[in-house]
Amino acid sequence: MSGFPPLVDQHCHGVLRSGPAGRSGFESCLTEAHALPRPAAPGASPFDTQLGFALRRWCAPVLGLEPHCPPEEYLLRRAELGTAEVTRRMLRASGISAYLVDTGLPGALLTPGEIAETAGAEAYEIVRLERLAERAADTARDVHAFLSGVSDALHAATRTARGFKSVVAYRCGLDFEPAPPNTSLVRTHAERWLTSRSPGDRLTDPVLVRHLLWSAVRTGLPLQLHTGFGDPDLRLDRCDPLLLTDFVRATEAYGTPLVLLHCYPYHRGAGYLAAVFPHVHVDFGLTVPYVGARSGAVLAELLELVPFGKLLFSTDAYGLPELYVVGARLFEEAVSGVTGEWVDRGAWSAPDAERVTGLIAGGSAARLYGLDGLDGLEGSGGPGGPDVSDGPRTEV
Amino acid sequence: MSGFPPLVDQHCHGVLRSGPAGRSGFESCLTEAHALPRPAAPGASPFDTQLGFALRRWCAPVLGLEPHCPPEEYLLRRAELGTAEVTRRMLRASGISAYLVDTGLPGALLTPGEIAETAGAEAYEIVRLERLAERAADTARDVHAFLSGVSDALHAATRTARGFKSVVAYRCGLDFEPAPPNTSLVRTHAERWLTSRSPGDRLTDPVLVRHLLWSAVRTGLPLQLHTGFGDPDLRLDRCDPLLLTDFVRATEAYGTPLVLLHCYPYHRGAGYLAAVFPHVHVDFGLTVPYVGARSGAVLAELLELVPFGKLLFSTDAYGLPELYVVGARLFEEAVSGVTGEWVDRGAWSAPDAERVTGLIAGGSAARLYGLDGLDGLEGSGGPGGPDVSDGPRTEV
Amino acid sequence: MSGFPPLVDQHCHGVLRSGPAGRSGFESCLTEAHALPRPAAPGASPFDTQLGFALRRWCAPVLGLEPHCPPEEYLLRRAELGTAEVTRRMLRASGISAYLVDTGLPGALLTPGEIAETAGAEAYEIVRLERLAERAADTARDVHAFLSGVSDALHAATRTARGFKSVVAYRCGLDFEPAPPNTSLVRTHAERWLTSRSPGDRLTDPVLVRHLLWSAVRTGLPLQLHTGFGDPDLRLDRCDPLLLTDFVRATEAYGTPLVLLHCYPYHRGAGYLAAVFPHVHVDFGLTVPYVGARSGAVLAELLELVPFGKLLFSTDAYGLPELYVVGARLFEEAVSGVTGEWVDRGAWSAPDAERVTGLIAGGSAARLYGLDGLDGLEGSGGPGGPDVSDGPRTEV
């Protein structure tokens, strides 16, 4: 899309090194469901969803095919080209200038460095707190070693990573106790967990997860929090970002940016939090590819309350390199469509629309994560005016 | 509407045998409210709602009147023609090929057989679980006879009906204990209920309702569950389909299709459940006539996450035959409008839109309920591909 | 906007007597946030929200500037003209015929009488219950004097005010115990509160707030209840109007109109309550200015279930006179856009759209609050028909 400002994908994951195995492997990468019935009923395959339709629309041309070609044709062409070539084409076609990669997911995935090299772009790491703690637990001899290990790993991450990520939504729900747990309680729970766990076990102890959250908040680096829909391991009604309200209040004085990810279908509530708490930002990553043709409609809902500089683009791409293309194209189409309609009927001015587009696409993320080396990523002053476009960064 | 695929109304009720009495009787059939103030304030009559406007639009022409003619003129013409003729005209005009009739509502209503004959269409029974249990209780001498009666009636229903329906949302809320109750607990509660109840009393005991739900799940027939809005007997915030999440998880291994009815305003959460659990399907029956001119907007929200073959048309018509016409016309207009816009801007292909329309209108319901005799109701293979359009039905 | 029916602003507040101080003072009046970072990040100023954009669009021309002129230019011109002139221009430009002013907010604000005089319009008082009780507590010597003071003040208000308002959402959340508290419980809590409070302290005791609510219900005057979003003192998830369901049921027999204010993002649930309970009405005041260009979209969602005569216009304007202009223009544009689209595609008739517009704009509010002196504010009979357009007012 010519003239669209640079994209910073502020939340994504790695790409499968060897590609998915067969049609069913590919389909598994297109859904949040755990189990797919084989054979699926007509219309119940992941290809028969908004994501499936969007993938055929936007990715087929990248492989030299017609938009909306049948899945079989798409998969055949994909196999012909091979995983490396498909990955290279998709990452380059995505138009993304910088990737912030949550490295805490399992699988044989490309590293941030490999993504950067393949894409010809920048890539940075986001450290997943729960994975950091699980790694520390896998090697710790005792509670002291575990807690020191966590502390050291967090400290090390502040030098190499651009932010933290938590999946407390999956592990405990967002209605967790908001206050930081005291040291002796943390020790007791660490003892209990280390004693009972087998290597590789997930961290679900709410006291330890809270300890991680508060440790991350104290570093000042942006903290991304999964909210809203995801795979069936979570209970969606316990992932409403409004359940975080007391945690948001408790952390406000620290100034550490909280970035609420995905948010759907509770994105209006997330917009409210961003409107009334200075340190809250909102992303709608996973939502864009999954709602496909409806991305503009959902974006418009988000743009009701959220201050425009607090909304951040991401793809949440994981596994398939196609998801970067789908996320980027749908996002551009959504922003252009929504703001274009407002300009057409005089509700917004054209320069405002352009400025806001730049902020959402990447300008705000570049500021938030300190991606100083990127060209053209700062939003111009505009109506925000001279008293806000300079001065110290208060948030990081 | 020429060229629209066959409609299967997968959830509806009977039509009043003698028609409603007067304007106030008619209005009572156009609202979920219990009590209407007489006289209503201007704009507060059920005629001054989306349903009222849609009825005047779509049904007036069926009686030979102009669309949007005044309510008085409509009611006068209705009285002239008489209930039998109005019913015949409406059912035939609806264009519905097959009716799945929940026979558990009170009132002097046409039976499925009479609906089929009047409409010149197919009709099948859906058995309402709570009514089945209340009937068994009305005649049972003791607990043993009651529980045997329930079990026998359920077994008999599997031979004559196409599915079950539960109104646990009304009776207990959807936040009920998800696990099946054990036999001795069921006996204790049955004892208590039979002792205290008067003939005709509603079943509200949560243990007995759970016993019914689990008994139905074990039959493998589709189980319809009221979710979302309805009359003021329910508390809407306890009818969010996401409150069913643990019940959905607990029943997944059985493969029994769960069909979430209505869902509004929690339809996006219902779409999520359908996206991540293979046995969950979604209907937006009651919502369509009640939101009227907004049907397309609500449908578009539903089509964000739900796999397209898991969304089912219904009217939830009850009492007035007009509700079949209103539901069918609004549904057709909604689907055509929403998918047409996506085709126009290239987000969907035209063949995909046609195929998905066929699935939602009736193809998926025909499969789910085993309506094998209906012509033209199977969706074609299309992008779902050959590996999904044949093979054994896994769900029923 | 020529031809738009008269507007009754059924919920608003006073205008700052001396105007806000500087840019930061002005920005503080454009957000529900407590603390704004200085300097704000680009795009995070209240000017970079839908409200900020709508203000530049609609209010700049009232000051003789181009729509969407930069904030600096707007603020400069505002300072040149002075507070009194800006207030006069804005109130007169708003086109509002009658103001219902909640006088319970702090600050040096214009009184209803001053607003009426400045605007050349009518103004009436709405009495805020919590403020009434706090004033009574400030002067009461003991519990008896306090409770008598509350009772006397309520009684006096029924002679001078047009309704009551409660912010129980802020003070206790909407999940409060629905039943009226008994006298001895009220006395105990009054004793406790009077003993512990310092002058000026807010009332947050749930028993005393319930006592106020029930005392107001017994007067029969309309009772406005804050629901949905607001400043960060509230927890939004505890302000879902559906949490009021049991209170709504408990008060139904009194017939006292309950008016749910704002409602966002739970406005669909509010529409449901209005659809099924005769005494429930809905307002979306604060929502309109805050969602700006999205007002039409939110209005359309509200118009899904709410009977059309039960939806009321308001601005919730507070502090800045601009907020009256923004609220009125956005509302008119929203109603015209939404109903115009429905008329264009035949879903509504043009006379119906005109009648409904008149009801929402001011006709229903004029009836509900007994504003008999206003010209042209009664909706015509139309499809509601002769049996509903006359007869006794049942509600007040």
If you measure CA to CA, which chain B residue comes closest to C276?
B33
Question: pLDDT: is A328 or A284 the higher one?
Answer: A328
Q: What is the mean pLDDT of residues C375-391?
A: 38
| Phi, psi angles (nearest 5°) of residue C186 | -60, -45
- Spatial neighbors of A126 by CB under 8 A, at least 6 apart, are A11, A100, A101, A102, A103, A161, A162, A163, A164, A165, A224
A237 in B contact zone (CB under 8 Å): yes
Residues B55 and B167 in one domain: no
Full residue range of the structural domain in which residue A55 is found? 47-81
Residues C77 and C100 in one domain: no
Residues B280 and B166 in one domain: yes
A210: buried, middle or exposed (CB in 10 Å: 19+, 13-18, 0-12)? buried
Structure tokens that stand for B229 in this block: 């809005």
If you measure CA to CA, which chain B residue comes closest to C380?
B42
Closest CA to A328 of A52, A15, A16, A55: A55
Q: What is the pLDDT of residue B40?
A: 83
CA–CA min distance B236, chain A (Å): 15
Q: What is the pLDDT of residue C391?
A: 31
The crossing angle, in degrees rounded to 10, of helices C50-59 and C71-81 is 50
A14 domain residue, yes or no: no
ipTM for this prediction? 0.94
Q: What is the pLDDT of residue B393?
A: 29
Q: What is the pLDDT of residue A19?
A: 85
CA–CA min distance B75, chain A (Å): 40
Residues B354 and B321 in one domain: yes
Q: What is the pLDDT of residue C377?
A: 54
Q: What is the CATH number of the domain that holds A244?
A: 3.20.20.140
In this structure, are residues A323 and A289 in contact, taking their beta carbons and an 8 Å threshold? yes
In this structure, are residues C393 and C367 in contact, taking their beta carbons and an 8 Å threshold? yes
Q: Each residue of A338-387: pLDDT tens digit?
A: 999 999 999 999 999 999 999 999 999 999 999 976 655 544 333 333 33
Closest CA to C264 of C240, C248, C247, C243: C240
A34 domain residue, yes or no: no
Closest CA to B154 of B239, B211, B110, B226: B211
B311 domain residue, yes or no: yes
The CA distance from B213 to B150, in Å, is 12
Per-residue DSSP letter, C265: T
CA torsion B36-B39-B41-B47 (nearest 10°) is: 60
C26 domain residue, yes or no: no
Q: Each residue of B250-259: pLDDT tens digit?
A: 999 999 999 9
If you measure CA to CA, which chain B residue comes closest to C378?
B42
Looking at residue A169, its amino acid is A
The fraction of chain A above a pLDDT of 90, given in percent, is 88
Residues B72 and B99 in one domain: no
C297 domain residue, yes or no: yes
CB atoms within 10 A of CB B143: 18
Residues C56 and C123 in one domain: no
The CA distance from A10 to A162, in Å, is 10
Q: Could you give the count of Cα atoms lying within 13 Å of A77 in the half-sphere of its Cβ?
A: 17
User: Which chain B residues are closer than 8 Å to A336 by Cβ?
Assistant: none
A336 domain residue, yes or no: yes
B259 domain residue, yes or no: yes
Inter-chain residue contact B278 with A31, CB threshold 8 Å:
no
| Banded pLDDT at C178 (limits 50, 70, 90) | very high
Residues C56 and C170 in one domain: no
Residues C64 and C121 in one domain: no
User: Which chain B residues are closer than 8 Å to A51 by Cβ?
Assistant: none
C285 domain residue, yes or no: yes
Whether the pLDDT of residue C345 is over 80: the answer is yes
Among B45, B231, B293, select the one facing C342 at the smallest CB separation: B293
**Count of domains for chain A:** 2
Residue ranges of C 59-118 with Cβ closer than 8 A to chain A: 67-68, 70-72
Per-residue DSSP letter, A362: I
The CA distance from A355 to B142, in Å, is 75
Q: What is the mean pLDDT of residues A182-210?
A: 96
A254 in C contact zone (CB under 8 Å): no
The CA distance from A170 to A204, in Å, is 9
Residues B305 and B331 in one domain: yes
Residues A74 and A169 in one domain: no
Q: What is the pLDDT of residue C385?
A: 32
A276 in C contact zone (CB under 8 Å): yes
| Banded pLDDT at B380 (limits 50, 70, 90) | very low
Residues A122 and A51 in one domain: no
Residues A261 and A306 in one domain: yes
A103: buried, middle or exposed (CB in 10 Å: 19+, 13-18, 0-12)? middle
In this structure, are residues A166 and A128 in contact, taking their beta carbons and an 8 Å threshold? yes
| Banded pLDDT at C376 (limits 50, 70, 90) | low
Q: What is the mean pLDDT of residues C118-135?
A: 98
A294 in B contact zone (CB under 8 Å): yes
